[in-house]
Structure formats: C-alpha cells, structure tokens
Amino acid sequence: MPRNSAGKWVARAGATGGSRTYRGQTPINWYAALTVIVVLGVLSLVFAMYEYRNPGAGATTTTPPTTKTTWYAGINFNICGKVQPNLASNATSTGSKKAFYTTGDGVITVSPKTNTEAGKNAVLGKFVSGYHGLTLSATQLGLPPSTTAKHSSSTTSTIYKNGDKCPKGTPDAGQPAEVQVTYWPSATLQSAKAKSATGDPSTLRFTHNQLITVGFVPPGTKLAKPNSSIILAVLQKGSSTSTTTTTAASGATTTTPTTSSTSTTAASNSTTASSTTTTVAPTTTTTSKK
C-alpha cells in the first residue's frame, strides 16, 4: 500500500536532522565561543585596572601637579626628640632631570617630568626612593649616617624599626619608639592643622608649600613643624609659582598675588569686577550780548 504524503514527510525528517546521533552531540562551538568571550572580558578588566593604577606616558594627567608644574615642600626628621640636620643635596649634575630632589635646604622640589610622576603619583615615596640611603615605611625609617655630608652612593643607612628603643644621647633615650609622619597642607595658612599620615607614609601626596615632619618617636608624641629656616625657604621658592587667593567678606574683596599684594574694597552694593567711573564736566552757559 503506497504511503501517504504525511508519512513521507516524517520519514524524510527522521533521515536528516532528527536522528538520535545528532541530538546526542555536544555543542562544542557554542561553548568555545562562550569561553572566548569570558576570557576577553576578564583580560579587558585587568588591563583597565592596570591603566588606572599605572597611567602610561601617553595618558593626559590634569590633576596637579602636572608635568608643567613645580611645587615645593619642607621636610625634616626627628629621632627620639632630636631634630636631625637637613638632608644633603642630591641635585647632582642630572638634578635638573629629576622630578623629586632637595638642594640641602630642607626643601623638596616637586617637578614631575612624566605622567607617572604627576597627579596622584606625586607622593613622598617618589622622593624617598630617589634619595640613596633614605627609606620610609609604616614600620621603619632609614637615614644616611650623616645628613650633612655630601650625598653619596657609598652612604649606609641607620635603620630605626617600630618597637626599638631610642638611642643614647637623645631626649627620649631608652623609650620604645615608632615611625610617625605629620604634615601641614600649606605653610602659607596659619590655620592649617597638623595631620597624621595613616598607613604607608610613602603614599602621602605632595601639596604646594606643604610641611612634613618624619619622626621616630615614642607613641603619642606630637611632632612639631619644620624649623623657621625651612619654612622661609619653602615660601621664598613657592613665591615664584603663580598662586592667587581671593577672600570675599562683607562686600570687600582682597586678592593677593605671589609677587605683590593688592587690596580692593568696594561698596556693599558694588561688584568685584573692575569698574570704570566717568565724571561729567560741569555745564557752561554762554550768553551773547546784543
């Protein structure tokens, strides 16, 4: 008996894609494509995180200090109550090419040359790593044996570790001490309060006219600002940087440039912008005689 059309259609379907062998195959291509997508996604994420933490030379850094900025920060060291001499100059013949260096006056020059030294990367650790014999972390401080001697690669650090007792000849001799870093955001602001660097002090970011005191002192010790000679040196060097501060109060505006000081006081209803006053001459009337 001849098969009907419906029977022939079912037979053809079973002979092509509907067999048990086809249904039992694993979709290898689909799984392979999914794996490639996942791997590429993970690699893209890792690369993005690396670029964020380590901006390349081609990246544009707009966060100050930029590669066109020069800042200054004062620094001194206190070992168990005894203020140490200023670090010797490490501004050698190649000093002009360094991003972070000192000339021996207790002032750090912050002048980024690349984007990896600018912005959020302009930190205290950059200066420390570039000064031979100087080390700094949350647990230890290393100083050259003689900070007054000429900066040399032959110097050997004296290491102070948290929990060590203060050496003889210091005001705190015999007391256990620890590394502390205190800083003041600006030497130009009398109201600037002391702040303590928490965690790794090498990650402390520089600010313009900043003051920093690094100490190895007994717990609870309040570190003082760098001495007046360092502060004066910071202000003198910082005055060459264009900085303008404007304070408005009760209708008065005071603007202080770095090179000169100008104070302008306006009436309560006046604007802070410059104004032009025109005085009209008195009217003259001439009467002709008949």
Nearest-angstrom CA–CA distance, 135 and 130: 10
Give the model's pLDDT for residue 86.
96
Q: What is the pLDDT of residues 122-178, one digit of tens each?
A: 999 999 999 999 999 999 999 987 654 444 454 578 999 999 999 999 999 999 999
The type of residue at 161 is K
pLDDT higher at 234 or 276: 234
The secondary structure of the chain, three-state, reads: CCCCHHHHHHHHHHHCCCCHHHHCCCCHHHHHHHHHHHHHHHHHHHHHHHHHHCCCCCCCCCCCCCCCCCEEEEEEEEECCEECCCCCCCCCCCHHHCCEEECCCCEEEECCCCCCCCHHHCEHHHHHHCCCCCEECCCEEEECCCCCCCCCCCCCCEEEECCCECCCCCCCCCCECEEEEEEECCCCCCCCCCEECCCCHHHCECCCCEEEEEEEECCCCCCCCCCHHHHHHHHHHHCCCCCCEEEEECCEEEEECCCCCEEEECCCCCCCCCCCCCCCCCCCCCCCCC
Give the residue carrying structure tokens 């647990």: 139
Q: Given a cut of 80, is residue 99 above it in pLDDT?
A: yes
What is the pTM (predicted TM-score) of this model?
Answer: 0.62
**Domain residue spans in the chain?**
71-238
**CA-to-CA distance for 79 and 76, rounded, in angstroms?**
10
How many CB atoms are closer than 10 A to CB 283? 5
Q: Diameter of the chain by CA atoms?
A: 146
Higher pLDDT, 176 or 95: 176
What does the pLDDT read at residue 145? Answer: 77
Mean pLDDT is lowest, of 6-10, 29-33, 81-85, 154-158, for 6-10
Tens of pLDDT, residues 222-252: 999 999 999 999 999 988 754 433 333 333 3
Q: Could you count the other beta carbons within 10 Å of the beta carbon of residue 173?
A: 13
Q: In the chain, pLDDT over 70 holds for what percent of residues? A: 64
d(CA 203, CA 159): 20
The pLDDT mean for the chain works out to 76
Which residue in 262, 237, 260 sits closest to 247, CA to CA?
A: 262
pLDDT digits (tens, 9 = 90+) for 35-78: 889 888 888 888 776 665 555 444 556 889 999 999 999 999 99
